[in-house]
């Protein structure tokens, strides 16, 4: 129960169907498009809104990037977070992935000493506002909710203690694109990592809902990664308030551009540029070669500065940058877009910045990109 919301306990009669509509997978990338799906699953989860929104983004990103495999949640309670993943599959019309819902469907095991005093206090406070009957929900109740939400066919329920079910069933799952671990205590989290981590695809995500909530979860993660000598970074996922809501590990890379937040920002930047520059308009992309634009987007962007189409490193000085831009402008290039990895250029090359600003107009400015229209000074 990483980031617990203290809403009313749901009943299945509150279930609202996840309506089909004409949203395409790409349209779902906009946060406001997730709203109806989040509303529909809200009664069935204690995961906070911000974490759910991030999960929706992650599910879509995994699909868009073609990361292979099913979605797995270990620790589902009433099923809401898993239902969100399943409803995103349904909206995208994806039939070859499923969501696996592993749970005892009988509540949490008792915390152990390693889980810390707070966990023990939580378990003893059976009248507490976040106790939720020891986080128990019956399998039939969760299955009924899935059915009422129209998610039959996208979900696979596995009932029992992880130590028995995970080794027995993992062979049927195959590759996993997103593994969501939300089972609070040290032994449970470690069991999930030991049984499923190896099946997570390259580029896939492991979401650790309780990393910031419970000491036992954090210890299990550190223990597992340390024991395996795994170099992948643990990344904090932040809510709007600036507080971390969960943690994520992206398998398959170790640099800053291998993280989930990098992938997300890159995708947003590409979309922002798309929405301001027509496919037919040639444009310069100042990104220090980091967005791997041509690999991810069919439309060509001109590297800057470039030789024979390749990025050749930052300009030697302002004069070099201005001369390059003038050359490209004369050849008909209409826009220049600065992406955040190269924002430092705007401070460093002051005369270049002054030249760009005085001879063109800003048409898009966000935390990730600034786009100038070179035809309109
Ligand atoms: C905090 S709840 C999960 C919250 C849920 N993801 C949501 O969307 O609200 C934790 C769940 O983990 C399950 N759980 C914890 N340890 C387990 C274990 N070793 N085997 C099976 N289920 C376990 C509990 O039954 C409980 O449903």
Q: What is the DSSP string of 35-50?
A: HHHHHHHGGG--B-HH
Index of the ligand 1 atom closest to the CA of residue 77: 27
Q: Give the closest residue (by CA) to ligand 1 atom 7.
A: 45
The closest of 191, 197, 140 to 162, measured between CA atoms, is: 191
Check pocket membership of 80 for ligand 1, CB cut-off 6 A.
yes
Q: Catalogue the E-assigned strands of 55-168.
A: 70-74, 99-103, 155-159
Angle of helix 162-173 relative to helix 186-196, nearest 10 degrees?
Answer: 20
Q: Give the closest residue (by CA) to ligand 1 atom 25.
A: 107
The best mutation among 108, 136, 187, 207 to test binding of ligand 1, ranked by most ligand atoms within 8 Å of the C-beta, falls on 108
Residue 300: phi, psi to the nearest 5? -80, 140
Check pocket membership of 77 for ligand 1, CB cut-off 6 A.
yes
Check pocket membership of 104 for ligand 1, CB cut-off 6 A.
yes
Check pocket membership of 81 for ligand 1, CB cut-off 6 A.
yes
pLDDT of residue 295: 54
What kind and span of H or E run contains 58?
A: helix 49-64
Report how far ligand 1's centroid is from the alpha carbon of 190 (Å): 13
Is the backbone peptide bond immediately before 181 cis, with ω within 30 degrees of 0?
no
149-181 exposure pattern, b = at least 16 Cβ within 10 A, e = fewer: bbbeebbbbbebebeebbeebbeebeebbbbbb
Report how far ligand 1's centroid is from the alpha carbon of 75 (Å): 3
Index of the ligand 1 atom closest to the CA of residue 191: 19
- Cβ neighbourhood burial of 273 (10 Å; 0-12, 13-18, 19+): buried
Report how far ligand 1's centroid is from the alpha carbon of 82 (Å): 12
The best mutation among 75, 128, 137 to test binding of ligand 1, ranked by most ligand atoms within 8 Å of the C-beta, falls on 75
Q: Give the closest residue (by CA) to ligand 1 atom 9.
A: 45
Q: Give the closest residue (by CA) to ligand 1 atom 6.
A: 76
- Count of CB atoms situated within 10 Å of the CB of 76: 29
The closest of 182, 241, 172 to 4, measured between CA atoms, is: 182
Q: Whole-model pTM? A: 0.86
Report how far ligand 1's centroid is from the alpha carbon of 108 (Å): 6
User: Alpha helix locations (H) across 252-302?
Assistant: 260-274, 293-296
pLDDT of residue 292: 72
Index of the ligand 1 atom closest to the CA of residue 45: 9
pLDDT of residue 31: 82
| Tens-place pLDDT, residues 88-142 | 999 999 999 999 999 999 999 999 999 999 999 999 999 999 999 999 999 999 9
Contact call for residues 10 and 44 (beta carbons, < 8 A): yes
Residue stretches of the chain with pLDDT short of 50: 3-28
pLDDT of residue 33: 86
pLDDT of residue 190: 98
Check pocket membership of 166 for ligand 1, CB cut-off 6 A.
no
Q: Which two tokens stand for residue 287?
A: 């990104």
Report how far ligand 1's centroid is from the alpha carbon of 114 (Å): 18
Report how far ligand 1's centroid is from the alpha carbon of 334 (Å): 54
Residue 170: phi, psi to the nearest 5? -60, -30
Report how far ligand 1's centroid is from the alpha carbon of 118 (Å): 18
Check pocket membership of 103 for ligand 1, CB cut-off 6 A.
yes
Q: Which two tokens stand for residue 214?
A: 């419970």
Report how far ligand 1's centroid is from the alpha carbon of 110 (Å): 12
Check pocket membership of 162 for ligand 1, CB cut-off 6 A.
yes
> What are the C-alpha distances in Å from 17 to residues 13, 33, 80, 138?
11, 16, 13, 20
- Between CA 130 and CA 142, with CA 136 as vertex, the angle to 5 degrees is 115
pLDDT of residue 296: 57
Report how far ligand 1's centroid is from the alpha carbon of 347 (Å): 49
pLDDT of residue 83: 98
pLDDT of residue 268: 87
Check pocket membership of 1 for ligand 1, CB cut-off 6 A.
yes
Check pocket membership of 107 for ligand 1, CB cut-off 6 A.
yes
Rounded percentage of the chain residues whose pLDDT exceeds 90: 76
């Amino acid at each position: 129960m990483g980031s617990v919301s203290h809403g009313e306990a749901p009943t299945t009669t509150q279930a609202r169907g996840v309506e089909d509509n004409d949203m395409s997978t790409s349209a779902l990338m906009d946060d406001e498009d997730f709203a109806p799906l989040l509303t529909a699953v809200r009664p069935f989860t204690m995961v906070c809104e911000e974490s759910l929104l991030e999960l929706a983004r992650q599910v879509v990103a995994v699909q868009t990037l073609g990361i292979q495999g099913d979605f797995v949640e270990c620790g589902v309670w009433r099923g809401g977070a898993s239902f969100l993943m399943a409803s995103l599959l349904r909206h995208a019309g994806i039939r070859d992935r499923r969501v696996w819902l592993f749970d005892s469907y009988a509540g949490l095991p008792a915390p152990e000493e390693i889980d810390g005093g707070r966990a023990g206090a939580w378990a003893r406070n059976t009248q507490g506002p976040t106790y939720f009957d020891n986080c128990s929900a019956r399998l039939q109740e969760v299955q009924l909710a899935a059915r009422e939400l129209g998610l039959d066919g996208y979900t696979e329920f596995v009932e029992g203690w992880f130590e028995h079910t995970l080794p027995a069933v993992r062979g049927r799952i195959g590759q996993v694109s997103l593994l969501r671990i939300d089972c609070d205590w040290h032994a449970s989290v470690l069991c999930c990592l030991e049984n499923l981590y190896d099946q997570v695809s390259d580029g896939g995500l492991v979401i650790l809902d309780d990393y910031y909530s419970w000491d036992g979860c954090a210890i299990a993660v550190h223990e597992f990664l340390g024991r395996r000598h795994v170099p992948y970074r643990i990344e904090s996922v932040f809510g709007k308030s600036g507080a971390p809501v969960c943690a994520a590990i992206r398998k398959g890379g170790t640099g800053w551009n291998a993280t989930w937040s990098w992938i997300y920002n890159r995708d947003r930047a590409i979309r922002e540029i798309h929405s301001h520059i027509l496919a037919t308009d040639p444009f310069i992309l100042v990104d220090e070669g980091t967005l791997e634009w041509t690999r991810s987007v069919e439309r060509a962007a001109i590297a800057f500065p470039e030789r024979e189409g390749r990025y050749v490193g930052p300009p030697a000085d302002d004069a070099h940058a201005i001369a390059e831009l003038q050359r490209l402008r004369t050849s008909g290039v209409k826009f220049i877009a600065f992406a955040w990895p190269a924002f430092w250029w705007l401070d460093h090359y002051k005369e270049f910045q002054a030249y760009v600003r005085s001879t063109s107009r800003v048409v898009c400015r966000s935390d990730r990109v600034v786009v100038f229209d070179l035809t309109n000074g």
